[in-house]
């Protein structure tokens, strides 16, 4: 899949394209229906399928004080769009100047002038142009005038009639319902970040963890302990490995911590050196809330149970605490 971030990146010979428009945050099941139709129309017409997406998120441009976190990072968004069969993605830099385009200018200048759209596929809730004043009906009317085929798809809903949406995903994550979020997304929720140094308490207790902190991780689920996967690129290769993990999110109340962190303990592993690596974490199931215990021994007993339950959820052999002396010095560690 090709990725274009500037007008100069566009191939000069581009023509006869099928374009879909959206932020595609999360690339959830509703998005997949639109993407599948885009690919289908492109294949029928012998055309190129293009997803027009935006970065940064428009809400962060219009409201810089917003605490919005993306469900999916741009990197993961692009990977999901490629997996959906899209041929190319145009990542439009979103700023106030771009936001001032009228709906008609957006259609004429970008969809036709830049992307040479012969067809456009969008969901019925599409909005575009100045003050989001362009909608599906306007797109269809102007498309008819300018010779563009417009496909407006009905919203996809769950069995209860609720529309699949990024907002719903955020609500579920705020409740710690990562399994529910996975149903909307069609896959486990993922965050991504670079492994940081911690206080190394977990190493001393036999539970080394890779720590992610700060902004830019994505939409972090509610505080608690989860079963999931630590996903990394094998050093020196292009291969990806998924490592079973027990994951804690919180400020470590047992040790009066103040900073909220995401900490992933890879079950049974003491040999990992992850400092400075960019990793992803996929959340599979919530296990328990974050809590303070009467003693470190009580904490260790619960952490042993967390390892057992994580292994059970993930379908892997149960692992025990590791030998602190066997942990590599470079591993980022802190208790779950």
Confidence band for 166, pLDDT divided at 50, 70 and 90: very high
- 140 and 281 share one domain: no
- 206 and 260 share one domain: yes
Dihedral sign, Cα of residue 194, residue 198, residue 202, residue 204 = positive
166-174 vs 178-185: helix crossing angle, rounded to 10: 170
- Mean pLDDT rounded to a whole number for the chain: 91
149 is a domain residue: yes
Confidence band for 204, pLDDT divided at 50, 70 and 90: low
Q: Is residue 12 packed enough to be buried (19+ CB in 10 Å), middle (13-18) or exposed (0-12)?
A: exposed
How does pLDDT run across 68-100, given as a tens digit for each residue? 889 999 999 999 999 999 999 999 999 999 999
Q: Please check whether residue 284 is in contact with residue 228, taking contact to mean a CB–CB distance below 8 angstroms.
A: yes
- Other CB atoms within 10 A of residue 223 CB: 15
CATH number of the domain that residue 133 is part of? 3.40.50.620
- 22 and 97 share one domain: yes
Q: How many domains does the chain have?
A: 2
- 130 and 273 share one domain: no
How does pLDDT run across 239-279, given as a tens digit for each residue? 999 999 999 999 865 455 557 799 999 998 888 888 889 99
Q: What is the pTM of this model?
A: 0.88
- 119 and 211 share one domain: no
For residue 41, pLDDT over 70 is answered with: yes
171 is a domain residue: no
96 is a domain residue: yes
d(CA 30, CA 186): 10
- 189 and 119 share one domain: no
- 135 and 197 share one domain: no
- 146 and 187 share one domain: no
Confidence band for 201, pLDDT divided at 50, 70 and 90: low
332 is a domain residue: no
Residue range(s) defining the domain that contains residue 74: 2-153
For residue 330, pLDDT over 60 is answered with: no
323 is a domain residue: no
- 136 and 255 share one domain: no
Confidence band for 332, pLDDT divided at 50, 70 and 90: very low
324 is a domain residue: no
């Amino acid at each position: 899949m090709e990725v274009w971030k500037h007008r100069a990146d566009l191939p000069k010979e581009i023509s006869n394209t099928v374009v879909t428009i959206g932020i595609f945050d999360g690339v959830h099941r509703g998005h997949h229906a639109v993407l599948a139709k885009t690919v289908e129309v492109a294949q029928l017409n012998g055309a190129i399928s293009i997803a027009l997406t935006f970065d940064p998120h428009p809400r962060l441009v219009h409201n810089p004080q917003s605490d919005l976190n993306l469900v999916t990072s741009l990197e993961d968004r692009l990977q999901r769009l490629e997996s959906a069969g899209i041929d190319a993605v145009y990542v439009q830099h979103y700023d106030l100047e771009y936001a001032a385009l009228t709906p008609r200018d957006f259609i004429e200048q970008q969809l036709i002038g830049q992307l040479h759209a012969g067809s456009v596929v969008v969901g019925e809730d599409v909005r575009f142009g100045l003050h989001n004043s362009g909608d599906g009906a306007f797109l269809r009317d102007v498309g008819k005038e300018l010779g563009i085929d417009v496909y407006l798809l009905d919203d996809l809903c769950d069995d209860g009639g609720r529309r699949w949406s990024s907002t719903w995903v955020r609500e579920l994550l705020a409740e710690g319902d990562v399994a529910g979020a996975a149903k909307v997304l069609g896959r486990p929720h993922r965050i991504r970040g670079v492994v940081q140094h911690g206080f190394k308490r977990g190493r001393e207790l036999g539970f080394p963890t890779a720590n992610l902190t700060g902004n830019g991780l994505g939409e972090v689920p509610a505080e608690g302990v989860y079963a999931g996967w630590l996903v990394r690129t094998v050093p020196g290769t292009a291969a990806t490995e998924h490592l079973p993990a027990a994951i804690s999110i919180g400020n470590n109340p047992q040790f009066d911590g103040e900073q909220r962190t995401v900490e992933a303990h890879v079950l049974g592993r003491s040999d990992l050196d992850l400092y400075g690596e960019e990793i992803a974490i996929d959340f599979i199931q919530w296990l328990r809330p974050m809590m303070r215990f009467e003693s470190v021994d009580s904490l260790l007993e619960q952490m042993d149970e967390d390892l057992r339950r994580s292994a059970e959820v993930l379908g892997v052999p149960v692992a025990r605490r590791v030998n602190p002396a066997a942990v590599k010095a470079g591993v980022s560690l802190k208790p779950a």
